[in-house]
Amino acid sequence: MSQNLVFTKDVALALDAILDAKPHNHLAVIVDENTARVVLPEIRSRHLAEAQIITIGVGDSCKNLDTLTHVWNSLEQGGATRKSVVVNLGGGVVTDLGGFAAATFKRGISFVNIPTTLLSAVDAAVGGKTGINFGGLKNEIGCFQEASDVIISTRFLATLPIIELKSGYAEMLKHGMLSSHDEFIKLINYDFQNADAEHLLQLLKTSVLVKERIVKEDPHEQGIRRALNLGHTVGHAFESKALHDGKLTIPDSLWFIGTANNDDSTFTITDKVYDRAIPIELNERADAFECEPHERVHVTADHLQYLFQKAKVEYVIDDELLQKMHKLDQYLQTRFKLAFGNRIIKQMYDFIPVYVACGGTELGGMDYIIARKVLKKFESMNVSFVRDEMKGLIEYIEKTFGEGGLPDSVMYLQRIQNFY
């Protein structure tokens, strides 16, 4: 079966023409909660006015057997027959699940896909792959069944955030790589910041036709169609591994690193960020240096955790230093209503032994955390009235930890003092 691909600016007109030519005694439209609210009211189709509307949840976690059963039950209760038509209006979740529901209801009824995201337009809505997630695995149950018609338009893309557009754009780049050097270069040069709908529709049409050509040659993915899985195989594996009870779990081996300018272009970083992250300041340009080449060492996340625990056993923090830390905590609470907090104290116990194991000192590790995570909280406070208190705090630190004991902390406080 060959899909009828319609590229248009007028979705309602195209849909009416398709349904006029398709005899049917019942029409059902499957939407998610977003497309039901934002997209459906914008399609002024004669046929949709009397259609049965079936709404499902938003997101990949809803692409499951429970949602599929809900759609089957709704079709049954709405009086759907083998002569019914289903219209899937939404992103990849809607077209995947809706297509599978139509392909299996009454041993298969006709369905039309109207993708509303760039990714679903270029990928999920075209090619006949339908299905649901099952047993924690991505697209584990499904079948090959093409929509009779696919209506592709850029009309709804203006409602999407830029990250969603880029998601679909990445799929188009893949098709460009599988097509030709010239097509790939055209896509690379497309300016999303100044997007032109007409130009995008032409690029989208070219991209979809690349997939259609490959699907026609290998409809059931026995050969060349596997090229379309470029990026999907590892992506689905990650999703299947990471999804748990509908939530994304972060593996121990994945670390997040973000950057922010520390100047007038950046809003004040909140206390919560300092509580949860380890800040690294790059305030000065370092001298260039050469590293001696050596063999690459493969360290697993489990082994890294073992080294962290080993450091905590071998380098137990001195009790006297911990008492000084708690005294400073009490001083900050009394004078500034600023506390270390349980999270930062726990980080002290984790960080300092590792800092020592890497060649530092206990006092140096404590100074690092206090300066970058505790005292940094002054930036989110109106501290212009405590100029004199800063001097007292510096004196208290030097009295408690010794002169030069917490150099980073003292230097930071002096900078704050001079600023105000």
Same domain, 87 and 174: yes
Say how far apart CA 398 and CA 395 lie, in whole Å.
5
Answer with the one of 165, 199, 229 that is the final residue of a domain.
Answer: 229
Give pLDDT, residue 82.
Answer: 95
Q: What is the CATH number of the domain that holds 90?
A: 3.40.50.1970
Same domain, 59 and 197: yes
Give pLDDT, residue 214.
Answer: 81
Structure tokens at 413: 């406080």
Structure tokens at 29: 């439209």
Cα first-last separation, the chain: 74
∠ CA 69-72-74, nearest 5°, is 105
* Nearest partner of 313 among 267, 360, 364, 353, judged by Cα: 353
| Residues 36 and 53: beta-carbon distance below 8 Å | yes
Return the bridge partners of 131, or none: 142
Give pLDDT, residue 397.
Answer: 94
Answer yes or no: is 257 within a domain: no
Contacts of 4 (CB under 8 A, 6+ apart): 18, 148, 149, 150
Give pLDDT, residue 191.
Answer: 76
Same domain, 344 and 276: yes
Answer yes or no: is 243 within a domain: no
Say how far apart CA 112 and CA 190 lie, in whole Å.
30
Q: Which residue has the tokens 């300066």?
A: 371
Give pLDDT, residue 399.
Answer: 93
Answer yes or no: is 174 within a domain: yes
Answer with the one of 201, 229, 257 that is the final residue of a domain.
Answer: 229
Answer yes or no: is 343 within a domain: yes
Per-position pLDDT tens, the chain of length 420: 568 989 888 999 999 999 999 999 999 999 999 999 989 998 999 999 889 999 999 988 899 999 999 999 999 999 999 999 999 999 999 999 999 999 999 999 999 999 998 888 888 778 888 999 998 788 899 999 999 999 988 887 776 777 777 788 888 888 888 888 888 888 888 776 666 777 788 888 888 888 888 877 877 777 777 777 777 766 766 666 655 555 666 666 777 787 777 666 555 667 677 777 777 777 666 677 777 887 877 778 788 888 999 999 999 999 999 999 999 999 999 888 888 888 888 999 999 999 999 999 999 999 999 998 888 877 666 555 566 678 889 999 999 999 999 999 999 888 877 765
Answer yes or no: is 180 within a domain: yes
Same domain, 221 and 280: no
Answer with the one of 166, 200, 229 that is the final residue of a domain.
Answer: 229
Structure tokens at 136: 């924690």
Answer yes or no: is 248 within a domain: no
Helices 301-314 + 342-357 axis angle, to 10: 90
Return the bridge partners of 113, or none: 88, 150
Number of domains observed in the structure of the chain: 2
Pseudo-torsion of CA 18, 24, 30, 35, nearest 10°?
40
| Residues 50 and 19: beta-carbon distance below 8 Å | no
Contacts of 165 (CB under 8 A, 6+ apart): 118, 157, 192, 195
Same domain, 12 and 151: yes
Phi, psi for 247 (deg, rounded to 5)? -115, 150
3 state SS for the chain: CCCEEEECCCHHHHHHHHHHCCCCCCEEEEEEHHHHHHCHHHCCCCCHHHCEEEEECCCHHHCCHHHHHHHHHHHHHCCCCCCCEEEEEECHHHHHHHHHHHHHHHHCCEEEEEECCHHHHHHHCCCCEEEEEECCEEEEEEEECCCCEEEECCCCHHHCCHHHHHHHHHHHHHHHHHHCHHHHHHHHCCCHHHCCHHHHHHHHHHHHHHHHHHHHHCCCCCCHHHHHHCCHHHHHHHHHHHEECCEECCCCCCCCCCCCCCCCCCCCCCHHHHHHCCCCCCCCCCCCCCCCCCCCCCCCHHHHHHHHHHHHHHCCCCHHHHHHHHHHHHHHHHHHCCCCCHHHHHHHHHHHHHHHHCCCCHHHHHHHHHHHHHHHHHHHCCCHHHHHHHHHHHHHHHHHHCCCCCHHHHHHHHHHHHHC
Same domain, 288 and 409: yes
Phi, psi for 290 (deg, rounded to 5)? -105, 140
For residue 279, give its domain range: 271-419
Give pLDDT, residue 385.
Answer: 54
